[in-house]
Structure 1
Amino acid sequence: MAGYRLPSPAGVALDRGRRLDFQFNGRALSGFAGDTLASALIASGERLIGRSFKYHRPRGIVSCGAEEPTGLLDIGHCAERVPNTRVTDTPLLHGLVARTGNAWPSLRCDLGAINSLFAPVLTAGFYYKTLMWPRWQLFEPMVRRMAGLGRAGDGADPDRYDELSVATDVLVVGAGLAGLEAAVGAAEQGAQVTLIESDPWVGGWAATVAAGASGQASQLGMQLASLVDRAAKAGVITRTRTTVFGLYDHGLAVAIEPGHGVVRERTIKIRSGRTILATGAFDRPLLFPDNDRPGVMFAHSAERYAAHYGVAVGQQVVLASACDAGVELAERLRSCGVNISAVLDLRNGEHVVGVRGRTRVSGVLVASARDPKPRVVEADTLLHTGGFTPNVSLHSQAGGGLQWDPASSMFVPSRLAHGVDLVGACAGAFDLDAAREHARETGRGCRAPAPVTGTGPVPSTNAPPGALLARRSGKTFVDLQNDVCDTDIALAARENYRSVEHLKRYTTTGMATDQGKTSNVNALVTMGMLTNRSPGEVGTTKFRPPYKPVTLGAIAAGRNGERYRPLKRMPAHAFHQSRGALFEEFSGWLRPAAYPKAGESLDAAAQREAAQTRSSVGLFEGSPLGKIEIYGPDAAAFLDLMYVGTMSTLAVGSARYGLMLNENGIVIDDGIVARLGQYHFWLNTTSGGAERAALAFEEWLQCEFVDLRVIVQPVVSQWGNVTVAGPKAWQLLEAAGFDAALAPASMKHMTIREVDYAGVSMRVMRASFSGELGYEINLPALHTQALIERLWQLGGSYGLEVGMYGVEALMLMRLEKGFIHVGADTDGTTLPHDIGMARGLDRKAANFVGRRSLLRAAATDPHRMQLVGIVPTDGKSRIPVGAHIAPYAPPAPIDGFVTSSGHSPMLQHPIALAMLQHGSSRLGEKLRIHHLGTEIEAQVVKTPFFDPSGERLHG
């Protein structure tokens, strides 16, 4: 067994009395409460846990934190499965199921490993060069199947997520010694402080050392305990096991923490006046051939495993170091009980030139300047470090700058982002005393530069750039997760991809889920050496959120289904449910698409409902219809500006169809404008355009027509709408006791009356989107269901065939009449002329929004498409929406496309609307319509298809 448990007191994070059983690739294993999945796997002797992305090489665990690039497994099964999960920060749970995601048929026998044989041609950018001939589509299915490292869940995520908002004066990210000093300094000044730490414990590096048995342990332990006590007394709010993954403008930080009980994860949005980053540093790996073998690990991760989890990463460990930190680490590891069999100090001229073994380390090949012939050092684990890389991800996210410091051989913060300070190792400050003093003063509000160099208890003398690089040929990986080798970077340099952004994208270095936390610096150093530039001259890329992978469920914070986009319900929703409505989402509202009977399809139900409405009377709830009240002395003039038609000439009690354009002359909405008083107008917009229209009105009033005295008040939620349509519509209303003044003989089409019915004030409009005699009864929303129930019951009592009809039937009836549906028959290019609405332009002399744009060359182009009616020449072929009209089968230039289509219940044959070039002049012409390899012959006809004289809507 390659790894083993260390006896107490090692493993301070463990509860050895609680055994936890779990599965890895179907094998039963066990660990202790407090373990991570990584520590439990290492303790169980598991070295090979995955396969690499491109070459499918054997891979193991290399670190002990969020920087882990290769320890990725699929956690859970079926719908609960979460792919590509880092084992290093996954708490071990009883019954946990983990599987390798990038190996088939098994981890040890992976057929994808054949890719290694083609490594010479699978270089950086190979897909750009080799998969274009003869066609990319030939390779696309294979590439997509091979893409990714895991497999998503098989169904809807059953877990629950939550969100929390927090405000604080000072946010400190990282609870090491520097973070604690900053938090205490701010809190003791009276500030409200929130301290965030991703580990289950506070103390960072100091807690790791204090948990060991070295000479520093006792001193650091006392210092740490004192700071923790002062933080508690000062009221610092500490959140452990919480990771800040995004730092944004205006003091916003977003963090993720594991949930408790029924909640799996919680997203925390934190607003702070100041943010102090104390996020520490990462091991900087060395580069040498076969540095990806399972058992090759970052050196300082071994100390964390030993101190906190009681795990020795190997039984015969070799430590290779190019800096002081590695030598100090070797002694601490020995004091923890880890068998360090050899320490290779690369500064003495020794170099690792290879690693023996395939699925686990069996030896280390070492050479020197004096003896270039490699010698074998027996080992089952190789630890390596070239120093430290400050963790500046959040600093970079916030907009902070970086600069190369030659003295310490690392990128350190230069320009600070507004409201963001850095302390401790992430600021490049490694001298313990100086770093703590700087953190203390920063917490108190002083913004002084961090002491970047030092030789304190954590030596900061990093290896110079050249010492990091491989000294022998062989497969040397710079980015372990994306299988980027030093040869790929050399190829990018030869092909002149020398810009840091080009290097990143051409080679994919730093683009994996670890975001190059441990690979970026080596990539930049390598490019610099190849192009005779310093790392500072090569430059750096910008880190972007999230700092570490976050589940989509956590980002949505439980806003899935209706919580993601809550659907609005109509006032009479319960009534529609009782009538067996089939609900669908329309413009954010849950509305009845139809009321199908047992065994009846949606299409059949819509046909029946439309036919019944045309023959008798139908009830429809139109409450989602846009309703806006416009009031003020300049209301009429304002509406003239906002609509194509002239609204100021409307008499009180009259209504008029209106078309709205934007400043480019594009049709954005339509509806009815009714006048209730001299200064009072009632507007109906489309259901989907209600909010858009109200916002457009406000924008023009606030930005352009600032002198107009107008109030805009959307009232969609305050007013319900019950539409009664059909030849017997008035008979039903008369039976219900409505005033005779609403009778068709007394109330003309496109008029509005304010009436009182059963003690409720209502606004009744004679209008029709169905083409039938129609009454749109607008009433207070709370009375909507009562009215519709009363009309339904009365219809049966008086022998009227009253039927409910849904949106689908309404769409069929409006299609028969050739009425446009904005958003279906129009798009972002449609002008009024295109849909036959030029009359309003010709009659109106005054200006209106979009008028000038209608004079542009594009608007007057004679080749523009126009809306026409079409029918299949065989009288039976359904014409699909979106089908192309072209004289030849595709690929070919098109003459137009189908916008609306359906089977007419009155004409008993399919009908459709289409945008067609020169459409108005092509009546009677036969067309060829193409859809998914099928050709349909159709003829251009005049609309309306049904009741062209409009007699039915007058009653």
Structure 2
Amino acid sequence: MAGTYRIAGKGRLTPARTARFSFDDQSFTGIEGDTLASALLANGVHLVGRSFKYHRPRGILSAGAEEPNALVSIERDAARKTPNVRATVQELYDGLTAKSQNRWPSLSFDVGALNDLASPMFSAGFYYKTFMWPKAAWKSFYEPNIRAAAGLGVAPDQPDPDHYASRFAHCEVLVLGGGAAGLAAALAAAESGVRVIICDEQAEFGGALRFETGTKIDGQEGWAWAQATAARLAAMDNVRVLPRTTAFGYYAQNFVGLVERVTEHLANPGQDLPRERLWQVRAKRVILATGAIERHMVFADNDRPGVMLASAARTYLNHYGVTVGKNVGVYTANDSAYAAAIDLKKAGVEVAAIVDLRDNPTGPVVDEARALGIEINHGRAVVKARGKLRVSSMVVQPKNGGAERTIPVDAILMSSGWTPSVHLFSQSRGKVAFDDATKRFLPGKYAQDCVSVGASNGTDTLEASIAEALSAGEKAAKDAGAKAAKAVKLNAETSEGWTGGMLGAGPGAGADTTVKAFVDFQNDVTAKDIRLAVREGMRSIEHVKRFTTNGMATDQGKTSNMHGLAIAAETLGKEIPEVGLTTFRAPYTPVTFGSIVNHARGPLFDPTRKTPTHPWAEAHGAVFEDVGQWKRAWYFPKAGEDMHAAVNRECATVRDTAGLFDASTLGKIEVVGPDAAKFMELLYTNPWEKLEPGRCRYGIMLREDGFIYDDGVVGRLAADRFHVTTTTGGAARVMNHMEDYLQTEFPELKVWLTSISEQWAVIAVQGPNSRKIIEPLLEGIDISDAAMPHMSVREGKICGVPTRLFRMSFTGDRGFEVNVPADYGQAVWEALWAEGQKHGACAYGTEAMHVLRAEKGYIIVGQDTDGTVTTNDAGLDWAVGKKKADFVGIRGMTRPDLVAKGRKQLVGLKTRDPKVVLEEGAQVVADPNQPVPVKMIGHVTSSYWSENCGRSIAFGLVAGGRDLMGTTLYVPMPDSVIEVEVTNMVFFDEKGERLNG
């Protein structure tokens, strides 16, 4: 039968342009422009897959993205294997290799089909009820076997060798959908001169014009007009035309995600082009022209290969020149299926009968079908499809019962009506409304600046759809600021009409039957499964969905949702709006991991950030550690030194003379404006209004719940300007936190926030000789103790470049932090290094920094806090303004639980054996001999060997810690129990004399 289903003279493809392909290792020939589905049908292949649960034979249902059955694996080579590709979307190319899925040992003989025989055991909810006992069997038996049986295609086991691209784009008007309505809307907007982007998931624009035959627009045949209009748009400088591009997600502020298939249709893609391109588009106005999706009829065994949607059969005939059968039956409840029968009959295909559920259908298409001699059986239903690997007949019966009649057919075309595609509208957070007259959900209340047109808006006629689209395009352009432009006028005429329709199960698949009348083809959900879910107590449609898995497959219920909803409503005895509609979520159709991950893999999986002095540190032998995305110098070993020796030397040198440390990774935010001080008062626990310009203050930021969120030193540069530092890891979140409050809670404040983390390189010069190192290089700044005391900030120049110079210390010694423009960071570092060498200074890394700060009792937010620590817990109540009436977290920190006795508090810990260094994270107990389970009263947050103290030092969060000073506690370890003494947190220079030493 191979090659016998292509009809000469039909379709729009060029017969001479052939392409060879294989399916399940059998070779076939198609035509360039085919999809894999149309090429298989042209070769008489209807059986293409097996269903998920019952492994029933499945054929091609549709001709587009809604396809639930024809999922195949495409294999270009050993590394390029893509599972679950819809054959209806995959374009044919010479050498394409496709394989069916979810079957063994072969597609025609699948052992898994035994599940179909055992289907009475596998009713809806089977998994929820069955695998609960015995409890021990879940891990040992149930889970491994369920995982082995799960899935459809097989995931590739080699790294993806292809590359993917990403683009950001902005436009005034974004049109989603390239059918007649979408093209008209884009043309109207484009003529005004605004930027327009139009996309469509198909290879060519035209939408339903692919299969419609009685349509003329502007005097041209519908399809020809669509191609000419798409070319006209593509030639305009202000328009971007994106075929093969699916809008998969509609997010906040008119942000839409698109995926463009760049090379999936090419036999030899080459290395230059990406496989897919992710478009992230921000638009002022979005026009949704997403069309409608035809629904199937729900009757017994409606899943047999050869049973498909009527519009799909028209597409294969009129666009691809392929008939889906030689003797075709039609089962419908609306007018549009008649057009399929008429087109097939005119092409010489035998149409056995049209079975119309309606009692007395009338209209032009009905009359035309009769005139062509097609038998019409109205008031009747198809109650069963017979056949196995392909449908062989349909059983027809009066819809109110009566004698059955079997009609031999090799294909059944079905249509129960059309469902507007409101998926993207719903993703935009728009609220759909149920139209009782037409029994369908339509766009209702809009949440974003978008508008629906055409079939997606419930507009059924072509003339009305185009008029609606032209108006929407003109208005979108005008609202975006376009000047008046020549109005676009289009004349449209068509003999097509979409009227009538039904929802739910048809006769023969009612509540009193147990036949397999499929609602969701991919997940094998039947009408009886929906009814069972209701009987089991499911009342919400979302619960019904999860109990049955209806609409949860890769097609996201595009053909099944409305039927499932109608059956549930009927069983509940409620109207459809009372039951509700399931939530439409992104993606609209499956999106590959490659397009989402894009460049972010391998070395680019996580961006690597380097400070301005990185090359210098690398040249001087630094060992680096990863701190978030930053590469930071960990320590600088000399010949023969291990890490411990290097850190000990660095710590001692900083205390004895001086050290240079790269602190550029600190977060830095500039807070500017007349209300800058008021804003700081609200965001931080400390008072800021009276802080003089030129002075600094340590600031604590809380969350609303009263827990410490971040900390850092803040310098006041002027009455209306603050330079805020944050922790390295907190830079982005603190900026977001500030912006959130400024925009939502304190919008009346005149304040502007700017992230300046990358603008300034920061060089910390710490130690007794720090002033001697800096002073020779400064211009216009007096850094004597009298002129610039501890916790001051000055602006001037160093090495001839601008600087913000902070006198501050994270070591407890005299110290300065030199902020210079990042471009000059290494040059200034080298100058300071040259001066430092005159005084025996060293470069030190993050490990020495941690030890030095711990010696002085300085905490690190995120290490010594864990998100549940208050200022009191950390011993930082002195940083909370006693007279402040309001700031973020002020109410949270007074909650009873946060002021209760016995909370964990930060304290110092000294081991009895000074040479023993505790492990960070180790638990602390009061009695190591207590019975199991041992009560833990705290844990170690920081622990180091201190060369300057000649012993180990540590911090810990311990319950009631400050009341336990001098007490002995215990840290159990696998091979010993370590005794520790609770102390204060300052281990070195307790009086703080070295800050000015």
**TM-score interval, normalised by the smaller of the two chains:** 0.7 to 0.9
Equivalent residue letter for 2:422: V
In 1, distance between residues paired with 2:179 and 2:711? 62
Alignment partner of 1:489: what SS? helix
After superposing the two structures, state which structure 1 stretch, 74-83 or 390-399, moved more: 74-83
Deviation at 1:68, TM superposition (A): 0.8
**Would the aligned equivalents of 1:38 and 1:87 in 2 still touch at CA under 8 Å?**
yes
In 1, distance between residues paired with 2:384 and 2:674? 86
**1:384 counterpart = 2:414:** yes
**Would the aligned equivalents of 1:4 and 1:45 in 2 still touch at CA under 8 Å?**
yes
**1:401 counterpart = 2:418:** no
Matches within 5 A, 1:502-517: 502-517=543-558
In structure 2, relative to structure 1, the CA distance for the partners of 1:693 and 1:519 (3 Å cut) is closer
In structure 2, relative to structure 1, the CA distance for the partners of 1:436 and 1:685 (3 Å cut) is closer
**Would the aligned equivalents of 1:721 and 1:778 in 2 still touch at CA under 8 Å?**
yes
Aligned to 1:921, which of 963, 968, 973? 963
Equivalent residue letter for 2:206: G
In 2, distance between residues paired with 1:174 and 1:683? 48
1:449 match: none
In 2, distance between residues paired with 1:222 and 1:709? 60
Matches within 5 A, 1:145-160: 146-152=149-155, 154-155=158-159, 158-160=162-164
Equivalent residue letter for 1:162: S
After superposing the two structures, state which structure 1 stretch, 53-62 or 150-159, moved more: 150-159
1:879 match: 919
Equivalent residue letter for 2:424: L
In 1, distance between residues paired with 2:746 and 2:576? 56
Matches within 5 A, 1:285-364: 285-314=296-325, 317-336=328-347, 338=349, 340=351, 344-345=355-356, 347-348=377-378, 351-358=381-388, 360-361=389-390, 363-364=392-393
Q: Deviations over 1:98-156 (max 9, x none)?
A: 45564567766766656546533433333433444455963556555555434555546
Q: Deviations over 1:636-665 (max 9, x none)?
A: 898777655667887887755443445654
**1:39 counterpart = 2:50:** no
Alignment partner of 1:858: what SS? helix
After superposing the two structures, state which structure 1 stretch, 313-322 or 198-207, moved more: 313-322
2:872 match: 833
1:824 match: 863
1:519 match: 560
In structure 2, relative to structure 1, the CA distance for the partners of 1:730 and 1:483 (3 Å cut) is same
Alignment partner of 2:555: what SS? coil
In structure 2, relative to structure 1, the CA distance for the partners of 1:846 and 1:192 (3 Å cut) is closer
**Would the aligned equivalents of 1:2 and 1:47 in 2 still touch at CA under 8 Å?**
no
**1:719 counterpart = 2:751:** no
2:820 match: 779
In 2, distance between residues paired with 1:53 and 1:168? 43
Matches within 5 A, 1:484-503: 484-503=525-544
**Would the aligned equivalents of 1:868 and 1:942 in 2 still touch at CA under 8 Å?**
yes
In 2, distance between residues paired with 1:116 and 1:714? 61
Deviation at 1:622, TM superposition (A): 0.9
Matches within 5 A, 1:163-242: 163-168=167-172, 172-180=175-183, 195-210=198-213, 222=221, 224-225=223-224, 237=239, 238-242=241-245
Q: Deviations over 1:721-754 (max 9, x none)?
A: 2223457767866899999986999987656677
After superposing the two structures, state which structure 1 stretch, 618-627 or 746-755, moved more: 746-755
In structure 2, relative to structure 1, the CA distance for the partners of 1:319 and 1:925 (3 Å cut) is farther
2:632 match: 591
Alignment partner of 1:832: what SS? coil
In 2, distance between residues paired with 1:763 and 1:73? 63
In structure 2, relative to structure 1, the CA distance for the partners of 1:132 and 1:814 (3 Å cut) is farther
1:476 match: 517
1:244 match: 247
Structure 2 length-normalised TM: 0.78
After superposing the two structures, state which structure 1 stretch, 118-127 or 821-830, moved more: 118-127
Deviation at 1:285, TM superposition (A): 0.9
In 2, distance between residues paired with 1:881 and 1:180? 62
**Would the aligned equivalents of 1:589 and 1:624 in 2 still touch at CA under 8 Å?**
yes
**Would the aligned equivalents of 1:55 and 1:116 in 2 still touch at CA under 8 Å?**
yes
**Would the aligned equivalents of 2:503 and 2:562 in 1 still touch at CA under 8 Å?**
no
Q: Deviations over 1:417-441 (max 9, x none)?
A: 7765555444444455565566666
In structure 2, relative to structure 1, the CA distance for the partners of 1:621 and 1:20 (3 Å cut) is farther
2:166 match: 162
Structure 1 length-normalised TM: 0.81
In 1, distance between residues paired with 2:748 and 2:7? 82
In 1, distance between residues paired with 2:566 and 2:643? 64
1:896 match: 938
After superposing the two structures, state which structure 1 stretch, 197-206 or 589-598, moved more: 589-598
Deviation at 1:284, TM superposition (A): 1.7
Deviation at 1:6, TM superposition (A): 1.0
1:53 match: 52
In structure 2, relative to structure 1, the CA distance for the partners of 1:631 and 1:270 (3 Å cut) is closer
**Would the aligned equivalents of 1:361 and 1:379 in 2 still touch at CA under 8 Å?**
no
After superposing the two structures, state which structure 1 stretch, 75-84 or 471-480, moved more: 75-84
Aligned to 2:395, which of 352, 366, 374? 366
**1:63 counterpart = 2:62:** yes
**Would the aligned equivalents of 1:2 and 1:313 in 2 still touch at CA under 8 Å?**
no
Deviation at 1:92, TM superposition (A): 3.0
Equivalent residue letter for 2:129: K
1:866 match: 905
Deviation at 1:873, TM superposition (A): 7.3
In structure 2, relative to structure 1, the CA distance for the partners of 1:418 and 1:693 (3 Å cut) is closer
In structure 2, relative to structure 1, the CA distance for the partners of 1:125 and 1:869 (3 Å cut) is farther
Deviation at 1:821, TM superposition (A): 0.5
Q: Deviations over 1:425-458 (max 9, x none)?
A: 4444445556556666666769xxxxxxx99533
Alignment partner of 1:868: what SS? strand
Matches within 5 A, 1:749-768: 757-760=798-801, 762=803, 764-768=805-809
Alignment partner of 1:256: what SS? strand
Equivalent residue letter for 2:292: A
Aligned residues: CA RMSD: 5.1
**Would the aligned equivalents of 2:19 and 2:93 in 1 still touch at CA under 8 Å?**
no
**Would the aligned equivalents of 1:287 and 1:469 in 2 still touch at CA under 8 Å?**
no
In 1, distance between residues paired with 2:189 and 2:692? 69
In 2, distance between residues paired with 1:729 and 1:714? 29
In 1, distance between residues paired with 2:378 and 2:673? 88
In 2, distance between residues paired with 1:498 and 1:640? 51
In structure 2, relative to structure 1, the CA distance for the partners of 1:164 and 1:882 (3 Å cut) is farther
Deviation at 1:67, TM superposition (A): 0.7
In 2, distance between residues paired with 1:703 and 1:402? 31
In 2, distance between residues paired with 1:217 and 1:709? 59
**Would the aligned equivalents of 1:209 and 1:220 in 2 still touch at CA under 8 Å?**
no
After superposing the two structures, state which structure 1 stretch, 300-309 or 111-120, moved more: 111-120
In structure 2, relative to structure 1, the CA distance for the partners of 1:805 and 1:130 (3 Å cut) is farther
User: What number of residue pairs does the alignment pair up?
Assistant: 936
In structure 2, relative to structure 1, the CA distance for the partners of 1:459 and 1:824 (3 Å cut) is same
**Would the aligned equivalents of 1:405 and 1:412 in 2 still touch at CA under 8 Å?**
no
Q: Deviations over 1:652-707 (max 9, x none)?
A: 87755443445654323333356778998765443344566677778889999999
After superposing the two structures, state which structure 1 stretch, 756-765 or 524-533, moved more: 756-765
Alignment partner of 1:163: what SS? strand
In structure 2, relative to structure 1, the CA distance for the partners of 1:629 and 1:4 (3 Å cut) is same
In structure 2, relative to structure 1, the CA distance for the partners of 1:468 and 1:179 (3 Å cut) is farther
Aligned to 1:788, which of 829, 843, 846? 829
In structure 2, relative to structure 1, the CA distance for the partners of 1:749 and 1:105 (3 Å cut) is farther
Matches within 5 A, 1:695-706: none
2:129 match: 129
Alignment gaps of 5+ in structure 1: 447-453
**Would the aligned equivalents of 1:868 and 1:940 in 2 still touch at CA under 8 Å?**
no
In 1, distance between residues paired with 2:906 and 2:31? 71
In structure 2, relative to structure 1, the CA distance for the partners of 1:606 and 1:247 (3 Å cut) is same
Alignment partner of 1:506: what SS? helix
Equivalent residue letter for 2:632: R
Alignment partner of 1:313: what SS? coil
Equivalent residue letter for 2:128: Y
